Every structure is written in structure tokens, then in C-alpha cells.
């Protein structure tokens, strides 16, 4: 499969990434999926009683009420300027030690632990796909939006599952009932199957709820990363569970989206199930990831 790389806004380079069209059973091979998360519950169980469950549901209520088409448009324009700070990828990884994702029922470790757990699990099973190792390391870096130096956005505007705005909210989205309080829910311009979009328009032309996924995508793109488009797709849509788990919104996808979705579904297994108590020796693996950062990114990035 030929992957076009965005560079300076121009499709300037072609990278080769092997085609992947594996079945669900084949995807599960190689990586041992644990039976329980850090709290001893089934992964992504939003009904299980746990010490964080009430907080998670309240998070989604606030998220679903406030993530409107106009809100997302405003945030993309504001944060797309990338005028907050200049720093390296690794410096951002270290900043993330100060972040805990309140929307996640499976994780209570610092974010850097999860990033390295995911990256190292993928590295073991896909040793030749170094772009995928780095993608795993950086996919959640946009969560720095929670920090004061990045505007200190509320959790509901940074983390949690993402979903399209500008068209109907699919019932597969977790805690869907709270969308009834969203101003777009009864707006005829936004509440139909296609809304402001058209069949096969491509996800690149669809606005999703604002959060760390889209922000990190903008950071990587505008700083001219040489990562392949499959990596950019993973970064931008890894929280889009309605698509890659429930299989909805495919009527908006382009042919390229379908190709990249294969890689996202592979990545998601590691992103979700590597949330465990397995500790990673950061200093031991750091030189390897620094070499990948140097390969695919400039020394300093605008954020």
C-alpha cells in the first residue's frame, strides 16, 4: 500500500506500509489480551461499579452537552495556531506525567506509563514497523491541553471517546442519552445521517469532537512530520470508538480511510489492553524512542 506523507502541505513523499487485512481472530494473535484492567474489571465496561465509575459517567454527560459543531470549529481555529510553546516530543512526554485521564475507567497510572506500555507491546509484535512504535508513544501527547500552560482545558474538552459533530450522534456512542441536552441534537442542519457532510466525503473533511486526538494530529501535521498517513490516521482517530469498535459512520469514509482503518484496529488492541500494572524501565528504552523522534520529527515543535 502506498502511503502519501503530508509535508509542508504538499504530498511530497511516498512511504510504503504493508497492506493489512486480517480477521479479528488473527489480530488477537501474538499479544496476550489480559482479562481485567487495573481495577479488576472488564475493559471499557462503563456500567461496572468502581471507584471511578460515577465520575466517568458525569464526565460524559458534560462532554456530550458541550461538544457542539460551533465549539469544535472554534477550538480548531484557536489551537491550530500552535502559539503556546516550543518543545521536543520527549519533553512533551515528560510533561504528561502530570496528567490523569478522568474519562478512562481502565487506567489510573501516569500517562507516560501507558504510552510506553503500548509502544513496547507493539514493538515486540511488529519489530519492523518503527513508525508504529513511535505512533504509540506520541498518540496521547495532546492531553497536555489539560495543563495550565496549554490553557488548562476541562477534561471534557480533552479526553474521552470522540465522535463526529455536524451530523447525527449514533446510539453506539457511550452514554448516548446525554446528547439530548446538546443544542445540536434538535438542529435539523446537524441531526441527520449526513448532516453537513456527504457520502464518502472522507474523514479528513469531517469534524470530530474536540480533544487531544485532533490537537496532536494538528501538531504533527503543521510541524511537518514524515510519519506515514496510517500513523496520522491512528493519532487522529484512536478515540473514535464508534468507528473502529462499533463500525458506524463508515458512510462518511473514503477509500484511503478504509485502508488506514486496518492499522487503527490493530493499534487499538494494544492501546486498550496494555493498560496494566506492567512497569517499563523508561531510561532503558528512552534511547530507542529518541532515535525514532529524530527520524520523524524536527528537534523542536510548535505546540
Give 36-43's long-range contacts (Cβ < 8 A, gap of 24+): 37/105, 37/106, 37/107, 37/275, 37/276, 38/106, 38/107, 38/108, 38/109, 38/275, 38/276, 38/277, 39/105, 39/106, 39/108, 41/105, 41/106, 43/106, 43/272, 43/273, 43/275
Element (H, E) at 3: strand 2-7
Residue 271 labelled as part of a binding site: yes
Q: Is 44 annotated as a binding residue?
A: yes
160 is known to lie in a ligand binding site: yes
Establish whether 294 is an annotated binding residue.
no
Q: Is 114 annotated as a binding residue?
A: yes
**How far, in whole angstroms, is CA 287 from its chain's centroid?**
25
Is 102 one of the annotated binding-site residues? yes
Annotation-wise, does 139 bind a ligand? yes
- 101 is an annotated ligand-binding site residue: yes
**161 labelled binding-site residue:** yes
Q: Check the annotation: does 239 bind a ligand.
A: yes
Query: Which phi and psi (to 5°) does residue 13 adopt?
Result: -145, 150
Cα 288 to the center of its chain, rounded Å: 23
Give residues with Cβ within 8 angstroms of 94, minimum separation 6. Answer: 112
- How far apart CA 68 and CA 74 sit, in angstroms, is 10
Q: Name the binding residues for substrate.
A: 44, 101-103, 143, 160-161, 238-239
Residue ranges of the binding site: 44, 101-103, 114, 139-140, 143, 160-161, 212, 238-239, 271
Residue ranges at the known binding site for Fe cation: 114, 139-140, 212, 238, 271
Amino acid at each position: 500500500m502506498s502511503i502519501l506523507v503530508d509535508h509542508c502541505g504538499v504530498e511530497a513523499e511516498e512511504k510504503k506500509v504493508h497492506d493489512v487485512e486480517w480477521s479479528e481472530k488473527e489480530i488477537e494473535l501474538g499479544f496476550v489480551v489480559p482479562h481485567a484492567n487495573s481495577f479488576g474489571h472488564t475493559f471499557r465496561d462503563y456500567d461496572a461499579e468502581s471507584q471511578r465509575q460515577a465520575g466517568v459517567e458525569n464526565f460524559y454527560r458534560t462532554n456530550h452537552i458541550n461538544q457542539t459543531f460551533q465549539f469544535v470549529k472554534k477550538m480548531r481555529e484557536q489551537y491550530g495556531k500552535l502559539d503556546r510553546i516550543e518543545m521536543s516530543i520527549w519533553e512533551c512526554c515528560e510533561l504528561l506525567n502530570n496528567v490523569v485521564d478522568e474519562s478512562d475507567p481502565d487506567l489510573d497510572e501516569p500517562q507516560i506509563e501507558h504510552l510506553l506500555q503500548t509502544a513496547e507491546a507493539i514493538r515486540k509484535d511488529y519489530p519492523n514497523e518503527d513508525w508504529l512504535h513511535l505512533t504509540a508513544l506520541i498518540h496521547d501527547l495532546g492531553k497536555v491541553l489539560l495543563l495550565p500552560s496549554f490553557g488548562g482545558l476541562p477534561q471534557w474538552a480533552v479526553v474521552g471517546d470522540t465522535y463526529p459533530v455536524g451530523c447525527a450522534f449514533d446510539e453506539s456512542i457511550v452514554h448516548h442519552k446525554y446528547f439530548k441536552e446538546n443544542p445540536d441534537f434538535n438542529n435539523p442542519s446537524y441531526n441527520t445521517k449526513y448532516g453537513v457532510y456527504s457520502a464518502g466525503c472522507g474523514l479528513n473533511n469531517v469534524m470530530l469532537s474536540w480533544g487531544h486526538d485532533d490537537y496532536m494530529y494538528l501538531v504533527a501535521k503543521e510541524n511537518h512530520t514524515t510519519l506515514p498517513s496510517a500513523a496520522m490516521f491512528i493519532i487522529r482517530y484512536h478515540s473514535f470508538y464508534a468507528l473502529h469498535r462499533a463500525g458506524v459512520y463508515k458512510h462518511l469514509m473514503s477509500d484511503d480511510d478504509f485502508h488506514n482503518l486496518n492499522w487503527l484496529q490493530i493499534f487499538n488492541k494494544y492501546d486498550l489492553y496494555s493498560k496494566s500494572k506492567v512497569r517499563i524501565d523508561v531510561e532503558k528504552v528512552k534511547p530507542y524512542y529518541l532515535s525514532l523522534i529524530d527520524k520523524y520529527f524536527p528537534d523542536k515543535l510548535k505546540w
